[in-house]
Amino acid sequence: MTRRPFTRTVAATVAAGALALGVGGLGLAPAGASAPQTAPAGSSGSAKVEVGDNFFKPQDLEVTAGTKVTWTNEGKVLHNVIPVKKGKWTGTSALTKGKAYSYTFKKPGTYKYYCTFHGSPTGGQHGSIVVTKAAPPTTTTTAPPAG
């Protein structure tokens, strides 16, 4: 056996293994592997999504019912926010650089969206908002000082 075919076989095996593991050794995760980002506590009922050139950040967001989500185009080109299921909520036809669009999600559910210029409902520039039931208000009682 010559050295060259052996080297090629080893290189191909290593490459296949790296792909099977999601290129974990390079610090890269497979597409769709990240968990949804949750709107920070105390966000006073609002959350933000950055619209960039070919991405939404965060791509997947979890909020409670009644949260107002604002998408702002930070990219250099035209983008839009289009719901996958028409009628569940409204979207916007076009956002130029620096412009924003807001929508308040009142009902629990999963609301998927995408940019028709740079994605599709399942690929490219797309995202989702997962709306959960609003947590009941908490009350704190304090005992009177001892003594």
Q: Residue 120 in contact with residue 126, Cβ under 8 Å?
A: yes
**Does the residue 55 lie in any domain?**
yes
60 DSSP β-pair partners: 128
Q: What is the pLDDT of residues 96-126, one digit of tens each?
A: 999 999 999 999 999 999 999 999 999 999 9
Quickly state the pLDDT bin for 144 (edges 50, 70, 90). confident
Domain of residue 84, residue span:
34-132
**Does the residue 140 lie in any domain?**
no
Quickly state the pLDDT bin for 145 (edges 50, 70, 90). confident
Looking at residue 103, which CATH number applies to its domain?
2.60.40.420
Comparing C-alpha atoms, which of 39, 59, 38, 131 is closest to residue 88? 131
SS3 24: helix
**Which amino acid is residue 31, in one-letter code?**
A
Domains in the chain, number: 1
**Does the residue 74 lie in any domain?**
yes
Structure tokens at 126: 């797309």
> Residues near 137 by Cβ (< 8 Å), separated by ≥ 6?
none
**Does the residue 12 lie in any domain?**
no
Q: What is the pLDDT of residues 13-31, one digit of tens each?
A: 433 333 333 333 333 333 4
